[in-house]
């Protein structure tokens, strides 16, 4: 519910832009992870939610942002957010493209399982959709 709260600082024209983003526009969007951390860090949650949000675009192999963190340095909760976020984003409609569907989304996280995405998290996501019949909310 709050992982992308930092996008409140990104102009909506950029967030909903049809077509390819410029390097500068993409750089502005990437700020949303750190901005989310900054927005949430002073709120007293029972868990370090601000850190989870700040790390949700980090990737196991260090290819993510904002800090290029690797492996277990990234909170498990952020690794879960990463997989859930990519599946939801790919499967759902966006202003600039129709939804690609759950099969394409699961194939993407499976392909990068253990490289950019946590193996256990990907396995859990696949179980949810394939065995537990989980459905994304429309
Ligand atoms: Fe995000």
pLDDT of residue 19: 86
Percent of the chain past pLDDT 70, that is, above it, reads: 99
Q: Which residues of 73-109 are buried (b: 16+ CB within 10 A; e: fewer)?
A: ebbebbbbbbbbebbeebbbeeeeeeebebeebbebb
Backbone angles phi, psi at 22, to 5 degrees: -75, 170
Average pLDDT value for residue range 106-126: 97
12-60 pLDDT, tens digit per residue, is: 999 988 889 999 999 999 999 999 999 999 999 999 999 999 999 999 9
The C-alpha atoms of residue 93 and residue 40 are separated, in whole angstroms, by 28
Q: How many angstroms does the Cα of residue 83 sit away from the middle of ligand 1?
A: 11
70-98 pLDDT, tens digit per residue, is: 999 999 999 999 999 999 999 998 877 88
Cα–Cα distances (Å) from 70 to 44, 56, 60, 109, 111, in that order, read 27, 12, 5, 17, 18
Examine the residue annotation and report whether 7 is marked as an active-site residue of this protein. Answer: yes
Instruction: Assign 9 a pLDDT band (cuts: 50, 70, 90).
Output: very high
Q: How many angstroms does the Cα of residue 115 sit away from the middle of ligand 1?
A: 19
Q: How many angstroms does the Cα of residue 55 sit away from the middle of ligand 1?
A: 9
Q: Which residues of 18-51 are buried (b: 16+ CB within 10 A; e: fewer)?
A: eeeeeeebeebbbbbbbbbbebbeeeeeeebbbb
Instruction: Assign 129 a pLDDT band (cuts: 50, 70, 90).
Output: very high
pLDDT surpassing 80 at residue 138: no
Q: How many angstroms does the Cα of residue 59 sit away from the middle of ligand 1?
A: 12
Q: How many angstroms does the Cα of residue 45 sit away from the middle of ligand 1?
A: 20
Find the catalytic residue in 7, 17, 30, 112. Answer: 7
Q: Estimate to the nearest angstrom the gap between the alpha carbon of 6 and the chain centroid.
A: 12
Instruction: Assign 117 a pLDDT band (cuts: 50, 70, 90).
Output: very high
pLDDT surpassing 90 at residue 4: yes
pTM of this prediction exceeds 0.85: yes
């Amino acid at each position: 519910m709050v992982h992308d709260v930092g996008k409140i600082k990104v102009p909506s024209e950029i967030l909903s832009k049809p077509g390819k983003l410029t390097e500068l526009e993409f750089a502005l969007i990437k700020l949303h992870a750190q901005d989310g951390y900054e927005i949430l860090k002073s709120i007293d949650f029972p868990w370090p939610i601000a850190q989870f949000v700040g790390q949700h675009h980090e990737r196991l192999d260090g290819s993510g942002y904002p800090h290029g963190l690797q492996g277990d340095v990234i909170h498990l909760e952020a690794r879960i957010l990463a997989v859930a976020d990519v599946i939801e984003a790919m499967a759902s409609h966006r202003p600039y493209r129709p939804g690609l569907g759950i099969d394409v989304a699961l194939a993407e996280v499976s392909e990068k399982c253990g490289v950019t995405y946590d193996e256990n998290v990907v396995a859990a996501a696949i179980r949810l959709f394939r065995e537990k019949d989980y459905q994304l909310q429309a």
